[in-house]
Amino acid sequence: MRLRFLVGEILTGLRRNTAMTISVVLVTFVSLVFVGAGGLLQLQVGQMKDYWYDRVQVSVFLCAKDSEAPTCTSGEVTGAQRDAVLAELQSPTLAPYVESVQFESRADAYKRFKEQFKGTAIADSATEDQLNESYRVKLKDPTKYEVVTQYFAGTPGVEQVQDQRRVLDPFFTVLNVATAVAGGFAVVMIVAAALLIATTIRLSAFSRRRETGIMRLVGASKLLIQLPFLLEGVLAAVVGAGLAVGALYAAVRFGVQGWLVEALPLFGYVGTHQVWLVAPVLLGIAVLLAGTASVTTLSRYLRV
């Protein structure tokens, strides 16, 4: 009997405040889409870091003919200097950090340069003599690149030591900023959703003040009177969360896995299984948001 009563009261409240309920659903939907997108973007950043940092190399560039570095005052690197650098890279001192070493000649560097910049003006303007010989060093732990950088600082025959992480880090910084912006929008929209839920509950309670007054007179409990209003807010928020999960699933399924993977097959992308990891968090936020807003409002405007 009480369950039938609760369902009837919830349906009555939703019917009387259809426009406000739809507004709650839409605002919750938009806010949780931002939250979910931020979470998925952060998962993507972590996945990309794992992919690229495992492939990051430290390049030890040797002196070229026209190098102006202080360590290249004697001109182009000599055979003895080249061998000395290799011996240091293979020494017991650097053995705990270095996984492998590969020598890249000018011809190899020029070939790779032409492939990277194929179809651009810079590819035709460079010559093989302008490029440096180098040692490509793969580290066991890419975060320890400074060890190699500092070790060869001031070494004769070495023009510079370049870590590819310095190229990638600004890119990841941009992605992290995008995540923070999405999070900022999500916070604003969540606050708007909370205020809208509170307003909806208040209007619903006001429109049914006569019924709640009668329930007080016949001795209905505080929980029985307030529960329908609480469930209205929670139901609307959960529907919004469900729509947000559906939108994120569609975006990942068709936008990322269906198009981006084929258009830019450079590394692994987030999949639909990550959406299901985020889904419980979004539902939890929706229930917590609606429950907190509803209880706060009911305690003020529906005193029993």
pLDDT tens per residue across span 253-287: 999 888 888 887 767 788 899 999 999 999 999 99
The answer to whether 296 and 277 are in contact (CB under 8 A) is: no
CA-nearest of 79, 7, 23, 17 to 240 is 23
The answer to whether 233 and 193 are in contact (CB under 8 A) is: no
Same domain, 78 and 150: yes
pLDDT for 243 equals: 96
The answer to whether 257 and 272 are in contact (CB under 8 A) is: yes
What is the domain extent for residue 72? 57-163
Please tell me the distance from the alpha carbon of residue 162 to that of residue 62, in angstroms, as a whole number: 11
**Mean pLDDT, rounded, for 194-208:** 75
Same domain, 231 and 293: yes
pLDDT for 211 equals: 66
Number of H helices, E strands in the chain: 11, 4
Same domain, 209 and 91: no
The answer to whether 59 and 134 are in contact (CB under 8 A) is: yes
Same domain, 177 and 297: yes
Same domain, 138 and 255: no
* Cα separation of the two ends of the chain: 22
101: left (phi over 0), alpha (psi -120 to 50) or beta: beta
Residue 225 pLDDT > 70, yes or no? no
Q: What is the chain's mean pLDDT, rounded?
A: 81
DSSP lists the bridge partners of residue 158 as 62
Same domain, 237 and 276: yes
Same domain, 109 and 189: no
Q: Domains in the chain: how many in total? A: 2
Which residue is listed with tokens 């208040």? 202
Same domain, 227 and 258: yes
Same domain, 85 and 155: yes
* CATH number, domain with residue 86: 3.30.70.3040
Of residues 43 and 7, the one with the higher pLDDT is 43
The answer to whether 240 and 24 are in contact (CB under 8 A) is: yes
221: left (phi over 0), alpha (psi -120 to 50) or beta: beta
Please tell me the distance from the alpha carbon of residue 83 to that of residue 284, in angstroms, as a whole number: 61
User: What contacts 51, CB < 8 A, 6 or more positions away?
Assistant: 267, 268
Residue 143 pLDDT > 60, yes or no? yes
Q: Which range, of 22-26, 114-118, 217-221, 285-289, averages the lowest pLDDT?
A: 217-221
The answer to whether 152 and 60 are in contact (CB under 8 A) is: yes
Q: Which of 25-34, 137-146, 259-268, 275-284 has the highest mean pLDDT?
A: 275-284
User: What contacts 52, CB < 8 A, 6 or more positions away?
Assistant: 168, 267
pLDDT for 281 equals: 92
